[in-house]
Chains A and B, each alone.
Chain A
């Protein structure tokens, strides 16, 4: 079975069936990753370009490992600046990449929508590895895989997402995915970091989305807790007074986590700011599945590359 699309640009455009297919495919690759020999010939002869316009260790490495375990040739390019600084337009970047005839292009970019603009020009499959404050679809998929493993399902779960929703591509992709799969998503954080009118975008989906008035309210009865990385530049941007206050008012600590269900799990897309949005004892504690997320990231990215770059059978 194949995804009936050229690119993976966001979760917003995926159907529940497509998400299901990706997760099912990822399950099979999870097994491969536990074998002695972790390499399959699925994408032999295919070329995958990892084009990162923004610094990243985890995601870039994860995509690289995924491509290599599928026997594809993976090339990493760290451009780390936008077209404006570089003096080449985004359209020219796309045309140049296309000329190298890759099978898949993995793009991280600091500007929302940039992978989509490249996808419109390139014949290769374009995979969004995070664009600005828009989407980070593979992160949401690996989060879903992680949650499903621990909880056995997504539908009906109460998922609290805490922190800087406004600037978080991880939150956006997760909101799309979880509401499409029937979960109840509750958002909380400083009001300055919550976007307007986000509820309107999930109309007519099986799941629900709501804003809580406090972190405590969001956590009450939660099956899953996601905390988001808070960036220091938001403090200078005037969104909140200080990291210290952020930690005391909105950080995830033991007292707050106790409001969630006893068997609740804690996710974080990383890299974590210990003592800011999450206390160390939570990050390292039994509820944390942060390292499972990283592990599942490879399987999910193998699944995406396999489904889009057109391998034989897994």
Chain B
């Protein structure tokens, strides 16, 4: 394998202390799939062949990690396969993605886990880290074989989309998982009498005549989980936080020392239920949790700015075009997000001055690696796995869903002009998105 030398990039690595020289362009050398060195000037030796990437004006970061994607394989390959999802991931700058267990069959045992990992290896793009089910079949009744799945390679457990309704079972899951050092990821949604909901309950659901899910449905579940995490000392990770009240509760719990982390999706820091209203019942604005109010969005932005929200995760949820061509209340929840996450985050958070670029890299790489205990990732330290993302923060680009690598097209962001784009993605020292030579 040839060495890879990334020249003159603005290297941002939140996993190490910043020094004065960090604002100068630096060279980064990759050898044998690992980070071999970072310095103001690295001269390739004569003894090895080297490929050179000119990263002048670009930002070089540890590979981005998405804690929350749906890859649909096994069972729903018409929506997405592990290969197509991994291809969309690297096109979006993600070198590692963690996939939810709601496949068919559910990833609730080690053979499914092993299958997913094998498919991921075969694709040879982004690294695939499966998340196992909390309960068998995600039915919320009996714990899944968490230890065996751990041995097979899961990095967390979750019954995403079918949150464990019984607090007693959730308590056992937290206790049991903590023995294995696994975080429990919860999609917080108490049904609140709102089965069959189609959007956030508020003025716009009243106006549109759509069944609403109140913010309280999330808040109740978050409150429960925080209380259980405090009692058990286990690590709870709140998936796709969407309400102001939930952000507030996470902030307060962390001050008390509760082991809680949380993630937010790009659509929840960008869109509101008012945008859904203005879309005219566009089913690409339908997801769980639903788009919330402008006040919630403001609280989410504050949570991002003050660090309450640890990570950005896409909740990439492919659904075939045909499935979204139906009545709003019959359309499935979810949107794709792998390829729009970085442009949205740069455009909405960094260029608007809410957070710095290093903080963004932390939310997309360092923090996710820490939350799911992914060793040797989310860092550019010498010896770490050479997962690297190169970003062009100034590039203006229009979102063209036709160019997406996902098998699905369900996104509300088609046609959006966003400032900031992924330039190249390198996994284990191999350039898997963008070319070595040109831009």
Contacts and interface: CB of A to CB of B under 8 A. Distances in A.
B56 interface: no
A134 B280 contact: no
23 contacts: A82-B326, A83-B327, A90-B325, A90-B326, A91-B325, A112-B210, A112-B328, A113-B209, A113-B280, A114-B281, A114-B328, A134-B209, A134-B210, A135-B209, A172-B207, A196-B202, A196-B206, A197-B202, A197-B203, A198-B206, A198-B207, A200-B203, A201-B203
Contacts of A82: 326-327, 330
Given A90-B326, A112-B281, A238-B193, 17 more contacts: A84-B330, A90-B325, A92-B325, A111-B330, A112-B328, A113-B209, A116-B281, A117-B327, A132-B210, A132-B329, A133-B209, A133-B211, A134-B209, A196-B205, A196-B214, A197-B203, A200-B203
Interface of B: 193, 201-203, 205-212, 214, 280-281, 322, 325-330
Given A196-B202, A238-B193, A114 B207 contact: no
A113 B328 CA distance: 7
B281 to A, nearest CB: 3
Interface residues on chain A, size class = 20 to 34
A195 interface: yes
A111 B327 contact: yes
Interface in A149-174: 169, 172
Interface string A110-134: 0111101100100000000001111
Given A116-B280, A196-B206, A197-B206, A109 B201 contact: no
Contacts of A120: 280
A176 to B, nearest CB: 9
B209 A131 contact: yes
A92 B211 CA distance: 25
Contact of A201 (B207, B214, B280, B327): B207
Contacts of B326: 82-84, 89-90
Nearest to B193: A238
Nearest to A169: B209
A90 B326 CA distance: 5
A16 interface: no
B211 to A, nearest CB: 8
A169 B206 CA distance: 10
B204 to A, nearest CB: 9
B286 to A, nearest CB: 11
Given A197-B203, A201-B203, A114 B327 contact: yes
A109 B206 contact: no
Contacts of A169: 209
A162 B233 CA distance: 51
A243 interface: no
Nearest to A171: B209
A6 B322 CA distance: 27
A12 B207 contact: yes
Interface string A187-230: 00000000111101100000000000000000000000000000
Contacts of A200: 203
Which of B203, B206, B328 is most buried by chain A, counting CB atoms within 10 A of its CB? Answer: B206
Nearest to A197: B203
B202 A83 contact: no
Nearest to B205: A195
Nearest to A201: B207
Which 7 interchain pairs have the tightest Cβ spacing?
Answer: A113-B281, A134-B209, A111-B327, A195-B206, A197-B203, A133-B209, A89-B325
A90 B206 contact: no
Nearest to A173: B209
A248 B339 CA distance: 58
